[in-house]
Structure 1
Amino acid sequence: MGDTTGAPQDAQFRYRGNRLGMPEHGPGSVPGVGRRLLGLLLDWLLCLLVASALAGGAPGDPAASATASWLALLVFAIYSIALLTLFGTTLGKRIAGVEVAATGDRPLPWPVAMAVRTLLLCLVIPAVVYDRDHRGLHDRVAGTITRRL
């Protein structure tokens, strides 16, 4: 029968990323949630180790633990903004095989986009609300998408 909505065929959802011109499989395609969570977990653990070392204190000290938690978020933000701006990926994302790329739908300079994306990611909620292309609100606001290496 054909398309009765009047929308161009390319604008219809067929698979994650097709509306953005991305391939369905392989390099450049939209990775699954598991791959992205693995990258995030690896990055968070690395930042937590750095924050714990910076916070010092005796092991098991609740005050040092609380300081390390907040410091880890700050280290994560700085680490993510710096590495995403310079390389488009972080150590954890690289191990998981993903990178962040611009979609061209926002006229933000790359460093600003990475700062906005990271700060929204640190709030958590924007990252867990995502569309059919698996773009979280943090990616949509920054004009970015996560893709496979």
Structure 2
Amino acid sequence: MSSGKQGGPGGQRWTQTWLGGARSAGVDLGRPGERLGLPAEGSGSAAGYGRRLGALFIDWVIALLISTLLTRVLDWTPSQRSLTTLAVFALMSWILVGTAGVTIGKGVTGIRVARLGGGPVGPVWALVRAVLLVLVVPAMIWDRDYRGLHDRAADTVVVNR
């Protein structure tokens, strides 16, 4: 019986194929956004993780500042401030993405949310996206086009501006 250390093409360790993902196993998945008809680079291409996380950080800091101001004015507890931060973040995301396709953080990092079929995201799909975004888990499950479950449910994609 084999020890499991060798195997596969070229004597690679078997763990190199499943730990490295499909590409290390020789499966060509294409580039992010290719299946969606997005360009490879520049405006309209799929936005990467770094810009998206940067935008999330900026938007969260803004929501935290707003909720801190509200907490001080209304004398709320820390737990109420935490819920307020989440609510402000969701409200910002819903309104700004639904009307302009960008939040403040997305605007600063040079990305936007677009509907796959074209046209504006709109208030209904922006609400679906925002609700799933604040649930966190759907936003953490990504596909090869960098779309979280919140984007897939709203039929949106985050692209470079």
TM-score by length of 2: 0.77
4+ residue stretches of structure 1 with deviation over 2 A? none
Alignment correspondent of 2:138? 126
Matches of residues 46-57 of structure 1 in structure 2 within 5 Å? 46-56=62-72
Task: Check if 1:137 corresponds to 2:149.
Answer: yes
Of 28, 37, 42, the match for 1:21: 37
Distance, in Å, in 2 between the alignment partners of 1:21 and 1:30 is 10
Retained in 2: the 8 A contact 1:100–1:144? yes
Alignment correspondent of 1:66? 79
Q: Which runs of 5+ in 1 are unaligned?
A: 1-11
Aligned amino acid, residue 104 of structure 1: G
Which fold has the larger relative contact order, with Cα–Cα distance below 8 Å and residues 6 or more apart in sequence? Answer: 1
Q: Report the Cα offset of residue 67 of structure 1.
A: 1.4
Alignment correspondent of 1:33? 49
Identity %: 43
Q: Report the Cα offset of residue 131 of structure 1.
A: 0.5
Q: Report the Cα offset of residue 55 of structure 1.
A: 1.1
Aligned amino acid, residue 99 of structure 1: R
Q: Secondary structure at the match of 2:77?
A: helix
- Greater Rg, structure 1 or structure 2? 2
- Alignment RMSD: 2.0
Q: Which runs of 5+ in 2 are unaligned?
A: 1-27
Aligned length: 132
